[in-house]
Amino acid sequence: MNFIGMKNRKGDKIHYYYDLGRKKGQRPSLRFFIYVKYKTKEERNHNSETKKLLEMKKGQLILEKQAIGTPLIPKNKLQENFLNYYEAFVKKNKRDNNKHLYYSLYHFNNFMKVDLILHLM
C-alpha cells in the first residue's frame, strides 16, 4: 500500500491516490493535492498541511491493516451506539414529503425496545 502522486493535465497540481494494485478500482483517490510550484504563501501552507494529512492518513491505514485478525477495533471504525448513528443518518438525509427513513427508525426503535446497540462501521 503506497500513496502515489500524479500530475494533472495542466501540470500545476499533484493529486494523490492509493496504490493497491493495477486492476480497475484498485487505485482509489485520496482527494488530496499539492501545488507543484506554489505562487503564494497560502499555497505553500496548503502544501505543508496536505503533506501532514497524508502522513496521518498513512498511519491510520497501517493501524487498520495491522488490526485485521485481532480483537482490536480502531476508534474511527467503532460507533458506540447504532441507534445514535442511525438517528444522525436520518437527520442528515431528511427530505421534504419523504418520511420513510424517519418511520423506519421509529418502527425499529419500537421493535427493538433497547437503548444501546453496538455497531461497527
* Domains identified in the chain, total number: 2
Residues 100 and 48 in one domain: no
Residues 40 and 87 in one domain: no
| 56, containing H or E segment | helix 41-67
Which pLDDT tens digit goes with each residue over 34-74? 999 999 999 999 999 999 999 998 888 887 777 777 776 66
Helix axes 100-112, 82-92, angle to 10 degrees: 160
Residues 7 and 59 in one domain: yes
Give mean pLDDT, residues 18-32. Answer: 83
Residues 6 and 47 in one domain: yes
Which pLDDT tens digit goes with each residue over 71-118? 766 666 665 677 888 888 888 888 888 888 889 888 888 888 777 665
Domain boundary among 51, 67, 83: 67
Residues 84 and 113 in one domain: yes
Domain span holding position 18: 2-67
